[in-house]
Amino acid sequence: MDLKESIVLGFKQLLSNKGRTFLTMLGMFIGVGAVIMILSLGEGFKEYTKGFYSDIGLGAFQINVKDSSSHLLITQEDLDVIESMPEIEAIKGTVWANATVYNKNREIKKVNLMGAEPAYTTTMKKIDLIAGRLQTEKDEQIAAKVIVVSDVFAKVILRQANYRNVLGKSIEIMIDNQIESFEIVGVYKSSAPSNASQSHLERVLTQHALYVPRSALDIITQNDSKVFSAAGVIKEGYDQKEVTNQVRLLLNRRHAQKDNYTVSSAADMIDMANNMLNMITLFISAVAGISLLVGGIGIMNIMLVTVTERTREIGVRKALGATNKVILRQFLIESLILTVIAGVIGMLLGYIGSILIGGMYNIQAKLTLGMIIFSVGTSTVVGLIFGVYPAYQAARLDPVDSLRYE
């Protein structure tokens, strides 16, 4: 019997008991599928984080204040000193305010206002405008009460999916127990999926800031030009970790603090996200490894049962001249067919799952050649390891005893 005939016979044998074959493959489905899902989501997330900083480059950095007491906030003088550093391209401060608005049903919804200069939304954190315009330098100079909202805000609060229809509308926002009226001049695209449900959009409403001129928010909140956070860009050719450390030490020294300011670069954030992702991947892989082990033991068990069921068949084949090598190969092929098919199906299910989950968070899952090799390779190894013993048991059966077996 040649290899082709062995493969055909192996498929026929597995298809003769479809229910048992499926249940035997189940452990492989889960193990391979779980790993592929986390790996493909991980690849998509890495591309997402890189794309997030593609417009401003990996030289972007963010400053945050741990203790937001008034005397510890970042002043305009701090920003001017930092911007004068030869390593810094630009830096802009931002102020935040918690606010509330009424939706169409007169329900109170919390929102976050960010007061920022025009350069912030065009250089520091470039936003994807889908209708209207951003704040201008004139808006900043005259402290104009104009606002740029997210598409989530337009859908949840204004119940409007045609974003051009919200331009020019006035909305009332309560800030520090006083109502302020702002004119909507622009709408930007958020990270929320376009097909997200209304309940999901309501949950993520506060995650997408509403942008107003910093000067206007300073007046409303009676802030004396101090900021809670700042964002900047490091010039190319400088070591980002060294520069961010210098900025951190400078701020702590100017405010007589030991460690009240955190300064993190885009590269740091990407590294942190990737490290966290690697830890999750390692954990999922360990759990999947247990699933593969259980699945492999199940395959060995079923193959041993198959050997017992086919003892008489093995005796007949040996009586007709089949060697131990041929019998061993036949059962190994059946074990490999079982595990490789399970691995491929598990890979496809895992990838489909990653597409569905990624679509909820605007992350495009990626299936790489390495993942395909992993799926097929792992399945092959499991098939060989757990298929050898049943195949060996089948090969060593005595033909006379096998023929007598009932």
SS3 99: strand
Residues 216 and 291 in one domain: no
- Sequence-separated (6 or more) residues with CB below 8 Å from residue 323: none
Sign for the CA dihedral angle at 4, 5, 10, 12 comes to positive
pTM of the predicted model over 0.95: no
CB contact at 8 A, 129 and 187? yes
Whether 128 and 252 share a structural domain: yes
Mean pLDDT estimate for the chain: 85
Instruction: Determine phi and psi for 102, rounding to 5 degrees.
Output: -100, 135
Per-residue pLDDT tens digits for 39-61: 888 888 877 776 665 555 567 88
- Structure-model confidence comparison of residues 125 and 142, the more confident one: 142
Percent of the chain with pLDDT over 90: 25
Span of 118-122, 158-162, 284-288 with lowest mean pLDDT: 284-288
Q: Looking at the domain assignment, is residue 60 inside a domain?
A: no
What's the rounded Cα separation, in Å, for the pair 335 and 350?
A: 22
The least confident of 74-83, 139-148, 281-290, 336-345 is: 281-290
302: pLDDT strictly greater than 70: yes
Say if 246 falls within a structural domain: yes
Judge if 78 and 212 occupy the same domain: yes
User: Would residue 62 count as lying in a domain?
Assistant: no
Residue 75 and residue 223 in one domain? yes
Identify the band that residue 2 occupies on the pLDDT scale cut at 50, 70 and 90.
Answer: low
* The pLDDT of residue 271: 80
Does residue 335 sit in the same domain as residue 361? yes
Residue 388: which H helix or E strand, with range? Answer: helix 369-395
- Quick one: 155 and 75 in the same domain? yes
Q: Number of folded domains in the chain?
A: 2
pLDDT tens sequence across 304-335: 888 888 888 888 888 888 888 888 888 888 88
CB atoms within 10 A of CB 67: 11
Give the pLDDT score at 55: 52
Q: Is the pLDDT of residue 406 over 80?
A: no
Same domain, 100 and 215: yes
Asked whether residue 57 is domain-assigned, the answer is: no
Query: pLDDT value at position 53?
Result: 59
Answer yes or no: is pLDDT of 359 > 90: no
Confirm whether 341 is domain-assigned.
yes
Give the domain extent around 292.
3-51+272-404
Round to whole Å and give the CA distance between 56 and 46.
17
Q: Render pLDDT for 62-92 as a digit per residue (tens, 0 to 9).
A: 898 888 777 788 988 999 999 999 999 889 8
Q: How deeply is 378 buried, as exposed, middle or buried, from its count of CB atoms within 10 A (0-12, 13-18, 19+)?
A: buried
| Domain stop point among 259, 284, 312 | 259
Could you tell me which of 226, 211, 222, 215 has the C-alpha nearest to residue 139? 215
Q: Quick one: pLDDT at residue 30?
A: 84
What is the number of other CB atoms lying within 10 angstroms of the CB of residue 176?
A: 11
| Same domain as 293, residue 227 | no
Say yes or no: 103 and 131 in one domain: yes
Residues 18 and 137 in one domain: no
**Non-local CB neighbours of 136 within 8 Å, separated by 6+ positions:** 118
Residue 133 is predicted with a pLDDT of 93
* pLDDT digit string, tens, across residues 172-197: 999 988 899 999 999 998 877 777 78
Q: Which of 259, 293, 316 is a domain's end point? A: 259
Mean pLDDT (whole number) for 207-223: 90
Residue 215, number of CB atoms within 10 A of its CB = 20
DSSP assignment of 223-248, as one string? --S-BSEEEEEEPTTS-HHHHHHHHH
The answer to whether position 384 is within a domain reads yes
**264 is a domain residue:** no
- Give the highest mean pLDDT range of 143-152, 330-339, 353-362: 143-152
Q: What is the pLDDT of residue 348?
A: 92
Quote the pLDDT of residue 212: 95
Same domain? For 85 and 133 the reply is yes
- Output the pLDDT for position 136: 92
pLDDT bracket for residue 151 (50, 70, 90): very high
pLDDT in the model for residue 245: 92
Report the C-alpha gap between 51 and 33 in whole angstroms: 27
Query: Is the pLDDT confidence value at 137 over 90?
Result: yes
Read off the amino acid at residue 278: N
pLDDT exceeds cutoff 80 at 105:
no
Let me know if residue 266 belongs to a domain.
Answer: no
Same domain, 119 and 221: yes
Given 233, 259, 285, the domain boundary residue is 259
Contact 223, 95 (CB under 8 A): yes
